[in-house]
């Protein structure tokens, strides 16, 4: 199946078409509107303060619904379900974490060093699994022909529950805008991926474990076999989640981040809310991809600190989305 021109699931109307009842198509506009609502609430209250319940309701608006108990630290639900595609998003608290290669990691690249303390000053939601084929097809039915030109599809999974694979960075951004969220920053991705375990090579430990991820197949006398049970993409949630409840964060498909790539960014970038370099440091606008995939070397590319980059038009990767809380 291919999502390039001629895909049967083209949308039916113009660039602003989508389900009724949705007003804000871009995260920036959405957040601006949220701020206006908040200020209006403050004015109405006469005290300059709105209740946490009102704040949460305003923030979630109609793009997501609460699906779990409230986290006492943030006041926000631990899980929400996104209206656009049904994705469950998991709350990741604000805080400081160690980002980059752990000490003694002999396979770490120069761009993963030095390991450094990074502060994420705001909590955020991130998708519990990679965006799936069925979610992607829903997107395809609701966007217009102009948007569809940014779509790409080079290789798809074996079921509608497989991660969409073969999406350019631009197409992933289009999807995130449609869902009224964003792509995660690289720091948000790694904090979520580590699940609070900041001194490990993998989210599950210091050794590769075929029971914990979908990695590459092997050859035995020219016969392919795969100890993890999946020769190519696995349906999402086929393996155990990390401690934050995220599935397939390492393995299955590589995942786009919002950041531009810069090799020495860990040495030169800010330690608070890093979002990647503002200008492309190389002639081409490379973007960060993380986590490795079903064809990746376990020792090198399935490590949680592994960084890789690709041209924005590259069509090899999948993604998950995120949104930063106010």
Residues lying near Ca ion in the complex (CB under 5 A) are found at 214, 226, 228, 230, 248, 252, 291, 294
Shortest Å, Cβ 259 to Ca ion: 17
119-to-27, 150, 323 alpha-carbon distances in Å: 22, 34, 17
> Is the link from the previous residue into 114 a cis peptide, with omega within 30 of 0?
yes
Task: Give me the phi and psi of 84, to 5 degrees please.
Answer: -60, -40
> Of 214 and 262, which CB lies nearer to Ca ion in the complex structure?
214
What is the distance between the alpha carbons of residues 181 and 188, in angstroms, rounded to a whole number?
14
Shortest Å, Cβ 37 to Ca ion: 35
Task: Give me the phi and psi of 189, to 5 degrees please.
Answer: -60, -50
> Of 30 and 232, which CB lies nearer to Ca ion in the complex structure?
232
> Of 75 and 245, which CB lies nearer to Ca ion in the complex structure?
245
Shortest Å, Cβ 192 to Ca ion: 11
What is the distance between the alpha carbons of residues 318 and 39, in angstroms, rounded to a whole number?
37
> What is the separation of C-alpha 205 from the centre of its chain, rounded to a whole number of angstroms?
22
Shortest Å, Cβ 61 to Ca ion: 29
SS3 content of the chain, % helix, strand, coil (to 5): 20, 20, 60
What is the distance between the alpha carbons of residues 58 and 34, in angstroms, rounded to a whole number?
6
Shortest Å, Cβ 253 to Ca ion: 5
Shortest Å, Cβ 252 to Ca ion: 4
> Of 142 and 208, which CB lies nearer to Ca ion in the complex structure?
208
Shortest Å, Cβ 189 to Ca ion: 10
**Comparing C-alpha atoms, which of 63, 94, 95 is closest to residue 80?**
63
Structure tokens at 253: 């498909």
Sign of the four-CA dihedral 136, 24, 275, 190: negative
> Of 182 and 238, which CB lies nearer to Ca ion in the complex structure?
238
**Comparing C-alpha atoms, which of 232, 31, 36 is closest to residue 124?**
31
**Comparing C-alpha atoms, which of 196, 199, 226 is closest to residue 213?**
226
Q: What three-state secondary structure class fits 110? A: helix
Q: Which helix (H) or strand (E) holds 133?
A: helix 133-142
> Of 119 and 316, which CB lies nearer to Ca ion in the complex structure?
316
> Of 220 and 279, which CB lies nearer to Ca ion in the complex structure?
220
Shortest Å, Cβ 87 to Ca ion: 14
> Of 112 and 128, which CB lies nearer to Ca ion in the complex structure?
128
């Amino acid at each position: 199946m291919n999502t390039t021109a001629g895909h049967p699931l083209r949308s039916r109307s113009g660039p602003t078409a989508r389900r009724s009842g949705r007003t804000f198509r871009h995260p920036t506009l959405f957040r601006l509107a949220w701020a206006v609502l908040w200020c209006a609430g403050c004015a109405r209250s006469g005290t300059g303060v709105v209740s946490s319940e009102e704040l949460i309701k305003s923030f979630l608006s109609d793009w997501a619904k609460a699906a779990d108990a409230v986290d006492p630290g943030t006041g926000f639900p631990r899980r929400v379900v996104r209206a656009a595609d049904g994705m469950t998003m998991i709350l990741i608290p604000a805080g400081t974490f160690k980002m980059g290669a752990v000490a003694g990691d002999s396979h770490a690249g120069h761009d993963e060093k030095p390991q450094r303390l990074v502060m994420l000053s705001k909590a955020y939601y991130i998708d519990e699994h990679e965006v799936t084929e069925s979610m992607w097809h829903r997107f395809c039915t609701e966007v217009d022909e102009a948007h569809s030109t940014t779509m790409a599809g080079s290789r798809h999974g074996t079921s509608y529950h497989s991660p969409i694979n073969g999406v350019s960075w631009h197409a992933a951004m289009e999807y995130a805008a449609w869902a009224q969220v964003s792509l995660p920053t690289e720091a948000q991705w790694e904090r979520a991926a580590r699940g609070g375990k900041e001194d490990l090579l993998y989210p599950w430990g210091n050794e590769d474990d075929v029971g914990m991820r979908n990695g590459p197949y092997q050859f035995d006398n020219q016969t392919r076999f795969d100890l993890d049970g999946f020769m190519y993409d696995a349906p999402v949630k086929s393996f155990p989640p990390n401690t934050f409840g995220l599935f397939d964060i390492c393995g299955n498909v590589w995942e786009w981040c919002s950041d531009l790539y810069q090799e020495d960014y860990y040495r030169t970038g800010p330690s608070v809310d890093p979002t990647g370099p503002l200008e492309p440091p190389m002639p081409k606008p490379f973007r960060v991809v993380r986590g490795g995939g079903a064809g990746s070397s376990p020792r090198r590319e399935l490590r949680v600190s592994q960084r890789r980059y690709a041209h924005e038009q590259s069509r090899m990767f999948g993604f998950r989305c995120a949104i930063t809380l106010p």
